């Protein structure tokens, strides 16, 4: 099957972007996972401290399997930390825990971008799965209307990626504010927290950039 130069470029560019972002995150996380934080707080203790300070005593903190599997679940209002971050007193664990609590605070305050992202989940699941298939079907059959439907479907997935950026950056901002407000980080800790959260944020930037490239490619194909 013939692959156009544009198609090949996007494949290699997306692989490079996501690969570099992932490598940066893993290397940064590995570095600061070996450094103990000054307050000797585990990720679980960090999360609990920030939650209680913000009146979120009813939000639970749980350990989940895996590495970098940390997330906040708005459905049952739980902060879920990977086992290493949950039980170890590292700078990386503190950073990740504070970030996930940032999402819990967003949820409690009805942060608009978070609400928009949550509302986009159903359309995103459909668009990311079926959008490219519908677009290719439209291209091969010569049905421009079908291609346009596919572009619209895939656009929902791209919009989700774009809305995710302010959600993630704001959660990191809230994390830094809370850690400093509670006085549990030193200058060295703060530098490590910033490095971990910045590296994590770049994975979302890479994902958004990749989605935009694919959308532009699909739009250009649909107009031929």
pLDDT digits (tens, 9 = 90+) for 47-88: 999 999 999 999 999 999 999 999 999 999 999 999 999 999
Mean pLDDT value across residues 123-139:
90
Whole-angstrom CA distances from 95 to 46, 146, 161, 178, 197 are 9, 45, 22, 11, 7
Residue 34: how many other CB atoms lie within 10 Å: 10
The residue whose two tokens read 């401290």 is 49
Share of the chain above pLDDT 70, in %: 98
DSSP strand pairing (78-82 vs 60-64): parallel
pLDDT-derived band of residue 1, with 50, 70 and 90 as boundaries?
very low
Check: CB of residue 83 under 8 Å from CB of residue 65. yes
What pLDDT is stored for residue 141 in this prediction?
86
Buried b (16+ CB within 10 A) or exposed e, 151-182: bebbbbbbbbbebbbbbbbbbbebbbebbeee
What pLDDT is stored for residue 9 in this prediction?
85
CA distance 26 to 34: 13
Q: Which two tokens stand for residue 202?
A: 């770049």
Any alpha helices (H) in the chain, and if so which ranges?
5-32, 43-53, 83-87, 91-108, 112-141, 144-181, 187-222
Residue 41: how many other CB atoms lie within 10 Å: 22
Distance between first and last Cα of the chain: 19
Strand partners, 81: 63
Share of the chain above pLDDT 90, in %: 83
Residues 6+ apart with CB under 8 A from 129: none
Q: Which two tokens stand for residue 185?
A: 């980080």
Mean pLDDT value across residues 20-32:
96
What pLDDT is stored for residue 76 in this prediction?
96
- Write out pLDDT tens, residues 89-111: 999 999 999 999 999 999 999 99
Task: Mark whether 168 is an active-site residue.
Answer: no
Helix axes 112-141, 144-181, angle to 10 degrees: 150
Length of the chain: 224
CA distance 83 to 98: 15
Exactly one of 57, 83, 100, 168 is catalytic; name it.
100
The residue whose two tokens read 């692959």 is 3
Q: With a cut of 70, say whether residue 224 has pLDDT above it.
A: no
What pLDDT is stored for residue 2 in this prediction?
44
């Amino acid at each position: 099957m013939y692959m156009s130069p544009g198609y090949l470029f996007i494949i290699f560019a997306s692989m490079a972007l996501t690969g570099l972002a992932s490598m940066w995150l893993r290397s940064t996380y590995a570095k600061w996972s070996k450094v103990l934080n000054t307050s000797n707080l585990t990720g679980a203790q960090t999360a609990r401290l920030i939650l209680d300070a913000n009146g979120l005593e009813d939000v639970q903190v749980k350990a989940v399997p895996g590495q970098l599997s940390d997330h906040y679940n708005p459905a049952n209002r739980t902060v879920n930390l990977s086992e290493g971050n949950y039980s170890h007193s590292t700078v990386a664990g503190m950073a990740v825990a504070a970030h996930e609590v940032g999402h819990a605070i967003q949820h409690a305050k009805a942060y608009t971008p978070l609400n928009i992202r949550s509302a986009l989940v159903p359309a995103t699941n459909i668009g990311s799965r079926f959008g490219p298939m519908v677009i290719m079907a439209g291209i091969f059959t010569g049905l421009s209307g079908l291609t346009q439907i596919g572009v619209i479907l895939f656009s929902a997935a791209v919009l989700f990626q774009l809305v995710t950026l302010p959600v993630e950056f704001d959660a990191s901002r809230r994390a830094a504010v809370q850690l400093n407000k509670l006085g549990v980080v030193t200058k060295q800790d703060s530098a490590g927290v910033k490095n971990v959260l910045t590296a994590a944020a770049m994975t979302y930037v890479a994902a958004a950039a990749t989605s935009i490239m694919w959308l532009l490619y699909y739009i250009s194909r649909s107009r031929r």
